[in-house]
Structure 1
């Protein structure tokens, strides 16, 4: 977690960019992405996907990386990865990303992007990489040994952002250290070899964290996540069997009633209502009535997205084409950036 001073500075910069985006969207290139470790869920949708579509539709150059190499930072298998990648593209398209405006590509398909790792690694110290709180958190969460790949994770992310000259990255507060190390790498490269890379700003998202159905962080591994790809029936079943408490009166109290409050937050974000207002309305109706309300709210909101998803899933040839075209464009951009890097470093022979 960055200290308060650096957080305040990051927040100020983010606010300035948010304001400028409304006037000069064409000045900005966004890069963000996901690791294909499973299906995207409502936490991903409200946390980042909505924002990506908004920036795309404003006229920002939007790029989304499916970080398949980063799956093996903290796990020893790539089982199901192909299925996860294709389903991720289906989710993106169903949620409104437009391949004409947004470049969607996979990490492993762009060798020139990964070639930036070598000069970039020379610009950071081992101590700077080890200090990164996200790396520590990911290692602890997975219980995995600290591999070289996990240690250099922040440098990989710098390559992802900088290869396409990305200058904004939508982030939550906990991801700011990644932006700091990317900015450091860009600055040090520019000072040492000549200006190639832009200044990068972490665009702090204002979306509240959507908890899982049990009040904890929404995560596939907790079994508390509603996937975008679920059917209305699967959603209903999952909500029905989610934990509640023994108190009949429904109140919004995240600290003492995490499960009930998790359900209320989900209903609130899908209906645009205040969770407290929903709680008051249901009152003595109890958990059964609350769960019915949540089920309806989620299924109504996602009905058109799921309908689009179903259509797209029938044409996996088109989905593959979207990815191949995104990979081709990414390789083209990465190759041009790598030429600039070699030129700046005097490595053109």
Structure 2
């Protein structure tokens, strides 16, 4: 049985355990601060984090600033992107008194775990990782050492806090698998220090961008959470549709129309096919108006909370400072355990 099938088989029992015994779990999740968070982030991961946090699962969110430079030549705007992400997390329901929000660069002990962890994996294992393989195939320049070791850095993210629950989509399952491998090999070589984390497959389908492709800042097809209502209307108005007046949900044949239907659907809780029937022969203009209203209504409270944070930047500074402090305490303790297990606690 492959790892995906085995994980899928485990999901009902794992979700039941999370529901009934949330204090057994410590969850690590996060993203690279490469740009504004958008609706895809909200529905794809942030709302599930909020749900798990509210059930009582101890939660850590890493803003992986060091990983920004794995595949790009600049760290420009990272500081602003980190602040923007924190505002969106809190506006969406993340409680910084329950959830530790931190950045890579502020936790030296976490990054020190890379050294012993790198000794536990081979070059060929790293190159088989889907993220590394796809980047190597797509890029015309040599693979950087940082990108090659990207899966090990993610393992350090998870294991520094003894995380044992990692929400991921199917495509990111290999990252959890290599983390489990590193934890197991370290324990076999030096003694039991780490728990092998489990992947929890996210249940939310990927929300397409407004052109039908994956929602991404680089494609210019995303609705950023920090947009105003007018900016949202302008982005939706520019969405390329087609000349057919009858609105139907057909993602392959009508990507723009179908993306608008999918966006309106996640914001209203309706099915895209039902929204298509509602719009009927009123055409793309009516669909765009409906989608704009749905998004703006859904994000109204989020935006109101975000404006409060924008007017009080010291709150964001305090949230990050507190999160970094908590993460450092935990990382220092874990690194001390690792050194002791390796006989390097001088």
TM-score normalised per structure 1:
0.97
Cα shift at 1:137: 2.1
Query: Which residue of structure 1 aligns with residue 9 of structure 2?
Result: 12
1:321 aligns with 2:322: no
Query: Which residue of structure 1 aligns with residue 183 of structure 2?
Result: 186
Paired with 1:68 and 1:137, the residues of 2 have a C-alpha distance of: 21
Paired with 1:145 and 1:242, the residues of 2 have a C-alpha distance of: 36
Paired with 1:159 and 1:144, the residues of 2 have a C-alpha distance of: 26
1:303 aligns with 2:300: yes
Query: Which residue of structure 2 aligns with residue 206 of structure 1?
Result: 203
Cα shift at 1:195: 0.6
Paired with 1:145 and 1:285, the residues of 2 have a C-alpha distance of: 51
- Superposed CA deviations along residues 287-340 of structure 1, whole A, max 9, x for unmatched, are 000000000000000000000001101111110111011001100000000111
Alpha-carbon distance change, 142 to 299 in structure 1, aligned in 2, over 3 angstroms: farther
Alpha-carbon distance change, 194 to 12 in structure 1, aligned in 2, over 3 angstroms: same
1:125 aligns with 2:125: no
Paired with 2:42 and 2:91, the residues of 1 have a C-alpha distance of: 11
Paired with 2:283 and 2:136, the residues of 1 have a C-alpha distance of: 40
Count matched residues: 346
Cα shift at 1:159: 0.1
Paired with 1:142 and 1:300, the residues of 2 have a C-alpha distance of: 40
Correspondence list, 1:258-273, <5 A: 258-273=255-270
1:155 aligns with 2:152: yes
- Cα pair 1:211 1:217 within 8 Å, conserved: yes
Paired with 1:145 and 1:316, the residues of 2 have a C-alpha distance of: 40
Query: Which residue of structure 1 aligns with residue 212 of structure 2?
Result: 215
Cα shift at 1:138: 3.5
**Structure 1: gaps spanning 5 or more residues:** none
- Superposed CA deviations along residues 139-161 of structure 1, whole A, max 9, x for unmatched, are 44565531000000000000000
Residues 133-142 or 279-288, more deviating: 133-142
1:276 aligns with 2:273: yes
Secondary structure of the residue aligned to 1:337 is helix
1:56 to 53, 56, 63: 53
Secondary structure of the residue aligned to 2:199 is strand
**Structure 2: gaps spanning 5 or more residues:** none
Paired with 1:143 and 1:109, the residues of 2 have a C-alpha distance of: 32
1:45 to 36, 42, 49: 42
**RMSD of equivalent CA atoms:** 1.0
- Superposed CA deviations along residues 220-273 of structure 1, whole A, max 9, x for unmatched, are 111100000000000001001110011110000111111111110000010000
- Superposed CA deviations along residues 28-84 of structure 1, whole A, max 9, x for unmatched, are 000001101110000000000000000100000000000000000000011111111
Residues 238-247 or 130-139, more deviating: 130-139
1:137 to 130, 134, 158: 134
- Superposed CA deviations along residues 95-128 of structure 1, whole A, max 9, x for unmatched, are 1111100000000000000000010000000000
1:79 to 59, 73, 76: 76
